Amino acid sequence: MKAAAFAYARATSVVNALELLAAHGDKAKILSGGQSLMPAMNLRLISPDILVDIGGLAELRGITVSAGVLIVGALTRHVDLLKSPEIALHAPLLRNAVTHVAHPAIRNRGTIGGSLAHADPASELPACVVALDAMIVVRGSSGERRIGATEFFKGIYETALSPDELLVAIEMPVAGKSSTFFFQEYARRHGDYAVVGLAARAVVAAGRFTDLRLGFFAVGDRPLLAAAAGRLINASVTSALLSEAATALADELDPQEDQQATAAMRRHLATVLLRRCVAALLARPELEAGVTK
Amino acid sequence: MSAPVPVSLLVNGEPIEALVLPRLNLADFLRESLKLTGTHVGCEHGVCGACTVRIDGEIVRSCLMLAVQAEGASVETIEGLSDSGEIADLQAAFRERNALQCGYCTPGMLITAQDLLKHLPVPDRQAIREHLSGNYCRCTGYQAIVDAVEATAKMRGERPA
């Protein structure tokens, strides 16, 4: 299908975009890469009165490192994340994740800000920013505020953004030398929506986790920072402890049933990913053994 | 409010000025306004890849881009790639190996395959499959398409630069 009629405004600056949002409120939609918005409009799932196109705002594009913080502009495209040496060095989790996001032609247009603001619970980047403990920088008519990634996602396609606010950047602590990462997802076919996925960041010292952040996606109405990770921090991880953590994780999840998987299947796959993740990060393959149980 | 918007862009190297409705997507603009019907429209939500074109040298879905967003851009369609001879060898390989039947997906397949060969001159079959995974073909079963891309990569590798 084709999108219903709408008006179009090409924002000339962030200030101009905010003026347009203030004037049109929730009747307006921000257009960045359009790789989620356009399908939704073509399928007539949404019909905004006006699109505010921020695609030309160069000030919102780019990756910089400043005082131990990695700053990624909202308009940074997936392909830029894939090719950036700064991302490879300071947030390799994002690089790994992007290879699973759709296909090259989509990654050439889709933006990180668009993906986060769209807040699809099955998408990769929201779970990554949760695992990376990122801050989401948003600007509105009353100024700028920073929202912790775990507070940003509120539900399916719902975020803490007000209708008059614009997501402008994502800030993340640069990965220290001690940080390690894990990313894996189950999908029917590479590039398809994930059935279940896991983005994780850990700090391992002397064979133990001193920090472990597990961002699961496609397991509920938003990316989930698993509390079950707490059981594995500062502990000697045994097969029994990992089983306990897996049980706690399954209890913690509230997955939906859809045409891809039942809730029970998603719970099971999440525990498989947990075991793989822990085994990989601790470099102890024997911990993965419980996978097929 | 949803009045036509002026847009100026390059299409296959030729400057184009037009007035377009905001809701007009780039695929329909190319097909209906410019009569460049080699760009095909399949699913209209970014899944099938039949509408793939190049914008400023990189492949995109023209059904997920508004014509107004192409302001100032250089758009290349299958007509452009075909007329310039850039993909003549790839097209010949598709013909030789029966890598098309109905032909609906072929323009998108050719543009996407050429994109792969530009970025990765000697891809293995897995890399070819992965790069083409966003392009649907409902006739061939893909084997012949992968064969044709692989054969083209091989021929280009043997050709003196």
Q: What is the pLDDT of residues B28-65, one digit of tens each?
A: 999 999 999 999 999 999 999 999 999 999 999 999 99
Rounded Cα distance, A261 and A244, in Å: 24
Q: Does B46 touch chain A (CB under 8 A)?
A: yes
Strand partners, A201: A181, A213
Fold of the domain spanning A58-173:
3.30.465
Rounded Cα distance, A159 and A106, in Å: 23
Tell me how many degrees the CA angle A136-A139-A143 measures, rounded to the nearest 5.
Answer: 125
Q: Check CB contact under 8 Å for A31 and B22.
A: no
User: At residue B150, does pLDDT exceed 90?
Assistant: yes
Q: Check CB contact under 8 Å for B61 and A105.
A: yes
Fold of the domain spanning A7-53:
3.30.43
CA distance A109 to chain B (A): 7
User: What's residue A291's pLDDT?
Assistant: 57
Output phi, psi for A264, to 5 deg. Answer: -65, -40
A&B contacts, CB < 8 Å: 95
Query: Which class in CATH covers the domain with range A179-292?
Result: alpha beta
Fold of the domain spanning B85-156:
DNA polymerase; domain 1 (1.10.150)
Q: What is the pLDDT of residues A245-285, one digit of tens each?
A: 999 999 999 999 999 999 999 999 999 999 999 999 999 99
Helix, strand, coil proportions of chain B in percent (round to 5)? 45, 15, 40
Q: Please report which residue ranges of A132-228 form alpha helices under DSSP H.
A: 149-152
Q: What single letter denotes the amino acid at residue B30?
A: L
CA distance A58 to chain B (A): 14
Q: What is the pLDDT of residues B76-133, one digit of tens each?
A: 999 999 999 999 999 999 999 999 999 999 999 999 999 999 999 999 999 999 999 9
The residues of chain A that CATH labels 3.30.43.10 are 7-53
User: What's residue B78's pLDDT?
Assistant: 98
Residues of A whose CB is below 8 A from B68: 8, 10, 53
**Burial level of B136, CB count in 10 A (0-12/13-18/19+)?**
middle
Q: Please report, in tens digits, the pLDDT of each residue of chain A (293 residues total).
A: 899 999 999 999 999 999 999 999 999 999 999 999 999 999 999 999 999 999 999 999 999 999 999 999 999 999 999 999 999 999 999 999 999 999 999 999 999 999 999 999 999 999 999 999 999 999 999 999 999 999 999 999 999 999 999 999 999 999 888 899 999 999 988 888 899 999 999 999 999 999 999 999 999 999 999 999 999 999 999 999 999 999 999 999 999 999 999 999 999 999 999 999 999 999 999 999 765 54
Nearest neighbour of A191 by CB, restricted to B23, B59, B134: B134
Q: What is the pLDDT of residues B65-76, one digit of tens each?
A: 999 999 999 999
Nearest neighbour of B134 by CB, restricted to A1, A34, A104: A104
Q: Check CB contact under 8 Å for A43 and B45.
A: yes
Look over chain A and give the mean of its residue pLDDT values, rounded to a whole number. 96
User: What's residue A104's pLDDT?
Assistant: 95
Fold of the domain spanning B5-81:
Ubiquitin-like (UB roll) (3.10.20)
3-state SS, residue B109: helix
Rounded Cα distance, A106 and B112, in Å: 12
- The single-letter DSSP state of residue B46 is S
Tell me the residues of A at the B interface, defined by beta carbons under 8 Å apart.
Answer: 1-8, 10, 31, 34-35, 38-39, 42-43, 49-51, 53, 55-56, 79, 102-106, 108-109, 189-191
Q: Check CB contact under 8 Å for B66 and A103.
A: no
Tell me how many degrees the CA angle A99-A104-A106 measures, rounded to the nearest 5.
Answer: 100
CA distance B74 to chain A (A): 15
The residues of chain A that CATH labels 3.30.390.50 are 179-292
Domain spans in chain B, listed from the N-terminal domain onward: 5-81, 85-156
Residues of B whose CB is below 8 A from A114: none
